Structure 1
Amino acid sequence: MGPLRDRGRPGHRGGPGAAGRARAPRRSGDGVADLGVYLVLISALTLPHVGVVVLMDRRQGVWRRGAAVDVPAAP
């Protein structure tokens, strides 16, 4: 069957109305892929926080050499 004759078969990707249908992404059943997506999401959400904290630390001089901070003793 040529590409033009395949269009009418049910379940074929190029079937009638295929352009208007939303398809769910295929699931491989592999938890490693889901873990990877989760870790990328967490790193993307954490990055702005890291940038803000680095700027605040730099402004306060937290990482300067010899910048000892007196920590009050607990009562």
Structure 2
Amino acid sequence: MEILYFAWVRERIGIPKETVESSAVTVADLVEELKSREERYEAAFADLGALRVALDQELADFDAPLEGVREVAFFPPMTGG
């Protein structure tokens, strides 16, 4: 699946996107897999309360299943003005 990183998540990880093979069942499982890779992922996913996730361009929760998902995007919450 393709993983996209936006805003400070991208800055902490150092790349805008990557393709990964994963055995994760949920988004939370995927996050744990990513955090175990390197310190930069640990820093990016340290506070899940400060992150939002979209699966195939639809907002989702971290307990959402990944079966059939092609794209996962992580980004900070948007604020309006």
* Structure having greater relative contact order (Cα 8 Å, sep ≥ 6): 2
TM-score, normalization: structure 1?
Answer: 0.19
TM-score, normalization: structure 2?
Answer: 0.18
Greater helix share, structure number:
1
